Amino acid sequence: MKTPSNQELIKGIQSGDKRLLGKAITLVESKKAEHREQAEELLKEILPFTGKSIRVGITGVPGAGKSTFIESFGKLAIQHGKKVAVLAIDPSSSLNKGSILGDKTRMEELSKEKNAFIRPSPTSGFLGGIANATFESMLICEAAGYDFILIETVGVGQSEVLVSDITDVFLFLKIIGGGDELQGIKRGIMEMVDLIFINKVEEENRLKAKNTKVELMRALHFLPSKEKNWKVPVMLGSALNNTGLVEVYDKIEEFITLKISNHSFEETRKKQAEKRFDYWVQEYILQKTKSDKSTETFYEEHKKNASELKSNPRTEAKIFVEKLLTK
Amino acid sequence: MKTPSNQELIKGIQSGDKRLLGKAITLVESKKAEHREQAEELLKEILPFTGKSIRVGITGVPGAGKSTFIESFGKLAIQHGKKVAVLAIDPSSSLNKGSILGDKTRMEELSKEKNAFIRPSPTSGFLGGIANATFESMLICEAAGYDFILIETVGVGQSEVLVSDITDVFLFLKIIGGGDELQGIKRGIMEMVDLIFINKVEEENRLKAKNTKVELMRALHFLPSKEKNWKVPVMLGSALNNTGLVEVYDKIEEFITLKISNHSFEETRKKQAEKRFDYWVQEYILQKTKSDKSTETFYEEHKKNASELKSNPRTEAKIFVEKLLTK
């Protein structure tokens, strides 16, 4: 793929050209050195236009109805005059380079909306790298004027930590019941959520749903509160039938208003930027090491010692870093 | 906690003192600079005694019966005259610093065995760090003479990638059925497994189990084979009732023998060591940066620029790394 110039990309992003928006995202995801140069320039240029969206993380176990929720919620936001971008962090996709199943057919209606943009999850690299690519894709969507960035992830542990590292509000989609076997999944997440939506609630299972709500409220009661003066709401509804979504929308606005007023909005974003900084420090050091002939030679040499099990990887890394920083 | 000297630790490890074995693991997990020095020394000293175990990764969704399997399989291995160590990589535990539920009561029988050692999962740090700690804990268990290292993980995506980064053989515990909703979980894992065990199979569900087996075989058929000349076996049994485990044990031996004979055993371990090396290069660079007064100052300065959103984290990191490596 020939990458357009930054001038073309920025013009495209700001004029609502989704194809160029997609290309800009491909650029920031790239690991090639020349793309990194250009991406870094691009991010620098769009900086003044970023930061103005509401960044929403959405999680839930497979089957909780995340795609349907995003489709319905996205359309609701568009009805409110907002522009909606959908990104994803998918820990299971790192190996198989692209999804096997028909992910393209997901969120079909939303994808047809003029004011919606849906980007499949980045499919290469380790989870930290994927989270980072998602963060930067988000900045680009912000520069393109998107008001809501919805970031979907599978409901299990570490990917949530990463999503909460780049979002303002974290929404947990729950299905009725679940019980003990989901305990392992639930416990880490419950401490990170800002809102809970029990999905797939209809007339015939409303009572069960209410029981699940009581259980969740009880569990939440024993957890330290993540956000001061905020009681995590547990809402009921059905994304498929479009019930309960207005309440979610309102609660998100209420939550963001609270966070802005007590400055935790700003604080959270500052801390997130620091994490991104540390990520890139490590990335650039490895990149520079490998691109510089003299350092590359002794990098390879020590790596070989480690790989031939002559020495511990930790020991070899230590010797290498000492050489690198005192050369 | 006062850390014993390396001399004491090594003596303890080699004489079968589980308390000192535990302390050695705590040492390699530590992030304190002085502990890192000592840990690196310890790993250097035990190097000649490492590498001789069979490293088994075990995964499956919550409820697949991983603990019961490990308990039964561990006891079987001990009956074969082996020593068994159990470690865990748990992505959901990174936030809550220790498990809420009674993890201590898991594998109760196995934990009483003289030739078994069970270590709860490390509970701090990001997933890459946890995987690394598990790798080094494994080396220490090997120096203590353990023949099997069983590494348990929750069955979802990225943590499997990390477990397969440090093990020789990867076993997937499956429950009967599962269906589409587990698709998201399954698809990444299926490409990484070497053996599949359908657990909880009894007389009354044997037919269903056989159907699941057929489905799995079909799915495997369409995937590229991970190991040359190896057809991933799908076995049936019940860890609780001790059925089917001997077959698993034999298949693991068969698989390892094959890997050794075609040199992929050695190759895999080499590549794994290279990944560990890269991990530690990044760790040591950050550590050195923060511990050196002169570099720390400009590290903080650029981090602040990023956090105050005056600039992109990526841009600031780039400037910092350039200064760091040319100073």
C-alpha distances in angstroms, A24 versus A136, A194, B253?
10, 31, 50
- Nearest CA of chain B to the CA of A288: how many Å? 8
Q: Is B307 on the interface with A (CB under 8 A)?
A: yes
Chain A positions in Cβ-Cβ contact with residue B306 (cut-off 8 Å): 273-274, 276-277
Least confident of A54-68, A100-114, B159-173: A100-114
Per the CB < 8 Å rule, is A156 touching B40? Answer: no
Least confident of A84-88, B52-56, B162-166: B162-166
CA angle A17, A20, A21 (to 5 degrees): 80
The pLDDT of residue B55: 97
The pLDDT of residue A1: 61
The predicted-structure confidence for A30-55, as pLDDT tens digits, reads as follows: 888 889 889 999 999 999 999 999 99
- Please give the structure tokens belonging to residue A79: 């009805």
Q: If contacts are CB pairs under 8 Å, which of residues 204-243 in chain A contact chain B?
A: none
Per the CB < 8 Å rule, is A284 touching B159? Answer: no
- Nearest CA of chain A to the CA of B150: how many Å? 19
Measured between CA atoms, the residue of chain B closest to residue A125 is B158
The predicted-structure confidence for B85-97, as pLDDT tens digits, reads as follows: 999 876 554 433 3
The pLDDT of residue B289: 78
The pLDDT of residue B178: 58
The predicted-structure confidence for B119-166, as pLDDT tens digits, reads as follows: 877 655 566 677 888 899 999 999 999 999 999 886 555 677 778 889
Q: If contacts are CB pairs under 8 Å, which of residues 107-136 in chain A contact chain B?
A: 126-128, 136
H/E stretch holding B186: helix B183-190
User: How many CB atoms are located within 10 Å of the residue B221 CB?
Assistant: 10
A278: Cα within 13 Å, side-chain hemisphere = 17
Question: Alpha-carbon distance B10 to A324, whole Å?
Answer: 32
- How would residue A93 be classed by pLDDT, with cut points 50, 70 and 90? very low
- Please give the structure tokens belonging to residue B147: 């023949």
Per-residue pLDDT for A96 more than 80?
no
In sequence order, what are the residues at sequence separation of 6 or more whose Cβ sits closer than 8 angstroms to the Cβ of residue A59? Answer: A66, A152, A153, A154, A155, A159, A160, A163, A170, A171, A172, A173, A189
Q: What is the DSSP letter of B116?
A: E
Q: If contacts are CB pairs under 8 Å, which of residues 37-76 in chain A contact chain B?
A: 39-40, 43-44, 47, 51, 62-63
B77: Cα within 13 Å, side-chain hemisphere = 29
- Please give the structure tokens belonging to residue A127: 């989870």
Q: Is A246 on the interface with B (CB under 8 A)?
A: no
Per the CB < 8 Å rule, is A156 touching B309? Answer: no
Chain A positions in Cβ-Cβ contact with residue B156 (cut-off 8 Å): 91-92, 154, 156-157
The predicted-structure confidence for B264-318, as pLDDT tens digits, reads as follows: 999 999 989 988 888 888 888 878 877 778 788 888 889 888 888 788 888 888 8
Closest CA to B95 of A157, A93, A4: A157
The pLDDT of residue B231: 93
Least confident of A54-63, A68-77, A313-322, B151-160: B151-160
Query: SS3 letters for A249-270?
Result: HHHHHHHHHHHHHCCHHHHHHH
User: How many CB atoms are located within 10 Å of the residue B107 CB?
Assistant: 22
- Given A92, A191, A307, which is nearest B184 (Cβ)? A92
Closest CA to A157 of B189, B156, B172: B156
Domains of chain B with CATH codes:
1-49 (1.20.5.170), 51-273 (3.40.50.300), 274-326 (no CATH)
Buried b (16+ CB within 10 A) or exposed e, A83-113: bbbbbbbbbbbbbbeebbeebeebbeebeeb
- Nearest CA of chain A to the CA of B102: how many Å? 12
The predicted-structure confidence for B175-214, as pLDDT tens digits, reads as follows: 887 554 444 445 567 778 999 999 999 999 999 999 989 8
Chain B positions in Cβ-Cβ contact with residue A299 (cut-off 8 Å): 281
Measured between CA atoms, the residue of chain B closest to residue A270 is B307
The pLDDT of residue A33: 81
- Nearest CA of chain B to the CA of A79: how many Å? 31
Phi-psi region of A101 (alpha: psi -120 to 50; beta: other; left: phi over 0): beta
In sequence order, what are the residues at sequence separation of 6 or more whose Cβ sits closer than 8 angstroms to the Cβ of residue B53? Answer: B85, B138, B141, B142, B146, B147, B148, B149
SS3 call for B117: strand
Question: Alpha-carbon distance A164 to A56, whole Å?
Answer: 9
Phi, psi of A293, deg, nearest 5: -55, -50
Q: Is B175 on the interface with A (CB under 8 A)?
A: no
Q: Where are the beta strands (DSSP E) in chain B?
A: 54-59, 84-89, 116-118, 148-153, 169-174, 195-198, 234-236
Per-residue pLDDT for A219 more than 90?
no
The pLDDT of residue B282: 81
Measured between CA atoms, the residue of chain B closest to residue A312 is B44
